[in-house]
Amino acid sequence: EDWASVNGGHYTQLVYQGEMEVAFDRAATLMRRPAGYTLEVRSEFRKAPGPGKLRVVAGGKTAASSGAAVALILDASGSMLKHMQGKRRIDVAREVLTDAVRRHIPPGTPLALRVFGHREADSCRTDLEMPLAPLDPGKAARVIGGIQATNLARTPIADSLAAVERDLK
């Protein structure tokens, strides 16, 4: 009782067994009541850094000269039909990957492309659309450009990532 008083708490002596349930209800109510707190918020504006760059390097050499390979995974599930900055997400993803294979990944670099969500609705299917081969930028761009998102398809990201090791062998 003294400890409860010193710390601003509550103390109740129970007279009969049925009061225990009431005491627990009161305690729960007291614990859920509003309490005083302080919230401190700091903010600052940072300008977006702009577009990033992709350079595939292994041991100081480019991927094409080092024997390294690149695996690309494209999400073509139903969520990619949503709009982002005035375009569908799938269109943005295709543009980024097309730019990567045409301008940033050197021709001849071993490359594989895996796509999920584009074959059938309500499926967790993931497909190797371009088996590992030296990059032909025109061919890769055509394959990427032909991929369409499928509404109601699932998103097997983990299965796609797990398949990359097999794709690169």
pLDDT digits (tens, 9 = 90+) for 93-133: 999 999 999 999 999 999 999 999 887 777 778 899 999 99
Report whether pLDDT(76) > 70.
yes
Beta bridge pairs of residue 113: 72, 130
Q: Residue 53 has what DSSP assignment?
A: -
Evaluate whether 72 touches 141 at the Cβ level (below 8 Å).
no
The pTM for the full model equals: 0.61
pLDDT digits (tens, 9 = 90+) for 28-38: 777 777 766 56
Report how far apart, in Å, the C-alpha atoms of 84 and of each of 87, 91, 99, 149 are. 5, 10, 18, 15
